[in-house]
Structure 1
């Protein structure tokens, strides 16, 4: 392509601004940004030197004529925006979750196939350098045949974070949408992309949260926690999503004769005692990564019968975008491969709306919470 690809961004918060930086870094031109609140979107556009800003998505599509749209809003605002974009002929880069349920996600996936547009699904922590290292080690037989994996995380989120989209199922909230999507993406990237079966349980440990005006950026919401939570004039919103989950899955792997068992355990509100971690176990060893999203360092257990820390291979280090922040770096990694694909260059495979729609169907299944067997009658 002789010209820069034009990008229109939906969302003015952390994700929208992060997507803007990511696409600019990989050579695309961000021509417009759309948000809900007129003065906020105008301020962000001015701050980031984006030529067009507005609050009407269809008008923005007409005015900007983008090649790509980038969706950086909460999941509840995705469906109509993405649908209009696909019908307009745009390629779509969407943050997770794709939508609020499996049925609507499938419709977007099918529409994208019909309109022959490319899609990218940003459950993008699979691009963490230590995860890429683990993928290489497993593929090279360093642990023998993979047999099981575990993903353990405890976030200890503040219970009094202001009520917002993260508390509401209809807005794309919940820990499955915003944590499990990344965890499953990491698991499939290392073990294999084919998910065979799943079972799970969810729990709302929160109940309610204070209603506070003025929160526009997800990253700064903690700054708005009320100082007096006993104020009788304070309003409260009711949570209707999970803040903890336990999920088990079986994945097919080309490196193993039998399905690989995977445990995902997440407590959004629970404090951690030992570090969060990811482990891949095999018939001859194991790979352990510190951190809930594979931040590192990485350790291997092999024939030495002890855990040894392994440095990152230099080629993996060199291939990482040079930007601070894990989330921001992963967004840029995916944007780079997406742009390469659109421009007809060689690219690394990435997740699309196929995986995005599949993940929403999995979340629907898990949220049913109907996997228990009543044993109270047993003697």
Structure 2
């Protein structure tokens, strides 16, 4: 591996483009891009700006100008591709879900550890400065002991009967859609901020648009989850991909003894801090601590958003490739955690019972 990390990207769609931007902003180069066919590979390589034309995954994995592979394909292809990447001795960044079942995700964690490769999953909402500030206030005791965790992740991109996408197909996206796609982001973020882990939950899932693209829908449009944590807190979560007007409204409240901390991903440059006598709104760049300041990359008053988080995630991943240990970098272990939470939600909804999270 030279001074500049060389990336290969598998998947030439929207997420592949997001990853490519982040690779370049982290100081790396996009060596190769592979799509679903040789034709889409060449078109994707030209559009994204790959240095070398590449028709197949096999060519990409055999290339000596690729240090790390970013897997940005439909969900069902993740595990086979990750196995091949690890077998080729390359580092790997895999979009979530790491795998469509927890047993397979656990296998990938073991394979990556045995091969000694850096393996990360882009839970990128961790990289908002305001999220880091909330985490620091809990960790240093400022907020006090956490009592309640609650919130939602709401979208509207599948709200209409005619809306369709590969994620709706369980064969491509897995048995869970709404929770596995966005609910796990909320759970990862809240566990990251609060330092608690969900140990037990009761969930219900619902499919409110029963047919899309002329075929029955086997995955959920929405999920409701009640949960308990390992440190005695309680919580609830609403997840929906059919809530009109909500684009990516990931919102949480960590209610602790001394203050409550609220974050809204659609307005990410401020952290609401609630107190008995006064409520405050802490703006990014206006007095946050060092954990937040490290990720504040544009002047205060200029919006900092999703792509900036992705850039920070990839930069920290590449720092890990160089031997550093960035705080809060999401790894394959976090991908496994998400898979176990997803299976618990599906089991609870199916059995109408409380389920222990493995």
Return the TM-score normalized by structure 2. Answer: 0.86
Aligned to 1:169: 170
How do 1:1-379 residues align onto structure 2 when only pairs under 5 Å count?
Answer: 2-157=2-157, 158-160=159-161, 162-172=163-173, 174-192=177-195, 194-210=197-213, 236-252=214-230, 258-271=231-244, 277-291=251-265, 295-304=268-277, 306-312=278-284, 313=287, 316-317=292-293, 319-321=295-297, 326-345=305-324, 347-368=326-347, 369-372=349-352
**Secondary structure in 2 matching 1:357:** helix
Residues 104, 9 of structure 1: CA spacing in aligned structure 2 closer, same or farther, 3 A cutoff?
A: same
Confirm or deny: 8 A CA contact 2:202 2:352 kept in the other structure.
no
CA distance in 2, matches of 1:285, 1:371: 37
Mapped contact 2:155–2:240 kept (Cα < 8 A): yes
Matched-pair contact (CA < 8 Å) for 2:153–2:186: no
Equivalent residues of 1:31, 1:64 under 8 A apart: no
State whether residues 92 and 119 of structure 2, in contact with CA within 8 Å, keep that contact through their aligned partners in structure 1.
yes
Residue 356 of structure 2 corresponds to which residue in structure 1?
A: none
Question: What TM-score do you get using the length of structure 1 for normalisation?
Answer: 0.82
Q: Return 37-46 or 71-80, whichever deviates more.
A: 37-46
Q: Is the 8 A contact 1:278 1:291 kept in 2?
A: no
Contact 2:42–2:55 (CA<8 Å) still a contact in 1? no
SS in structure 1 of the partner of residue 156 of structure 2:
coil
Contact 1:200–1:371 under 8 Å retained in 2: no
Q: Which moved more, 1:157-166 or 1:33-42?
A: 157-166
1:280-317 Cα shifts (integer Å, max 9, x gaps) = 1012221122346x72532112242x322122246535
Once the two structures are overlaid, the 10-residue window that deviates more, 317-326 or 263-272, is 317-326
Residue by residue over 1:229-281, the C-alpha shift from the partner in whole angstroms, topping out at 9 and shown as x without a partner, is xxxxxxx13221111011233334xxxxx4222211112213369x8631110
Any unmatched runs of 5+ in structure 1?
Answer: 211-235, 253-257, 374-379
In the TM superposition, residue 98 of structure 1 has moved relative to its aligned partner by: 0.8
Cα distance between partner residues in 1 of 2:245 and 2:142: 30
8 Å CA contact 1:96, 1:181 repeated in 2: no
Match of 1:340, SS state, is helix
Deviation of 1:346 after TM superposition, in Å, equals: 5.0
Q: What is the distance in 2 between the residues matched to 1:60 and 1:18? A: 19
| CA drift at 1:2 | 4.8
Select between 156-165 and 337-346 the one with higher mean Cα deviation.
156-165
In the alignment, structure 2 segments of 5+ residues that lack a partner are 354-358
Residue 331 of structure 1: how far off its partner (Å): 1.6
> Considering only CA atoms, is the larger Rg found in Structure 1 or Structure 2?
1
* CA deviation profile, 1:82-124 (whole Å, cap 9, x unmatched): 1100011111111111111112111111111121111101122
- Distance of 1:326 and 1:168 partners within structure 2: 30
